[in-house]
Amino acid sequence: MSTLSASEITQQIIRRFERTAAVRDQAIGEGRQLVRLAANSIRATHRGDDADAAALLAEAERRLAALAAGLREFPSVYWAGYVQDAAKEVAEAAITRAIVTGRALPTPESLAVEDAAYLNALAEAASELRRQALDQLRQGDTERAERLLAAMDDVYSALVTVDFPDAITSGLRRTTDALRAVLERTRGDVTMAVTQGRVERALRQAAAAGYGAQGG
């Protein structure tokens, strides 16, 4: 049986709290850096600079692994929202780059992120594809826009099969609902562009046929 006084026990706990608080502050700061790196990687992917996107992503993954390793003794900090949010952003950057560049999807294991963070990242990465699809439409590449739309649809179709409480999925249902709205807007934009392209081709063909008949 302990012979320590209440004051002595309290002081021991305070010292442990101080250590946890210091680790927490470091984790929050590192989480911000991870979010920044992930966001910059996604921007590089959107502008077609894959080398920059890969370099930023590699740094983010390295720092995320180091952060996770440093928090093994502090599960309360590791499972706090800011660490998982940072992991989600890194996963989103990796998934976005994979889809846009035609690579295989990374797995939660390969990214060393938790399942809930990964699924939310997958949904947000699919939403990021809207920007890519609109860029392709502006460039007149409706075929690539349709492929991106199909990728968004595939992700959404997979995510709607995940039916677990938000406490397990970290609010995946809300993220999936947001993706559905983005998907439907993108579907409308792509459909309109494809239809318009067909009409324009038909008019050009008709005009060419008319000129040919007049010439004959």
pLDDT of residue 197: 60
Tokens (6 digits) for 24: 């927490």
- Which pTM was predicted? 0.86
Tokens (6 digits) for 138: 């502006």
Q: What is the DSSP letter of 161?
A: T
Report yes or no: 87 and 64 within 8 Å, Cβ to Cβ: yes
Tokens (6 digits) for 148: 């991106």
The owner of tokens 């442990």 is 16
pLDDT of residue 81: 84
- Burial pattern 8-45, b for ≥16 Cβ within 10 A else e, equals eeeeeeeeeeeeeeebbeebeebbeebbebbebbbebb
Task: Show pLDDT as tens, one digit a residue, over the chain (216 residues).
Answer: 668 999 999 999 999 999 999 999 999 999 999 999 999 999 999 999 999 999 999 999 999 999 999 998 899 898 888 899 999 999 999 999 999 999 999 999 999 999 999 999 999 999 999 999 999 999 989 999 999 999 999 999 999 999 999 999 999 999 999 999 999 999 999 998 877 766 565 556 656 666 555 555
pLDDT of residue 211: 57
The DSSP result for 26-51, as a single string, is HHHHHHHHHHHHHHHHHHHHHTT-HH
Domains and CATH numbers, the chain: 1-113 (1.20.58.2140), 114-216 (1.20.58.2140)
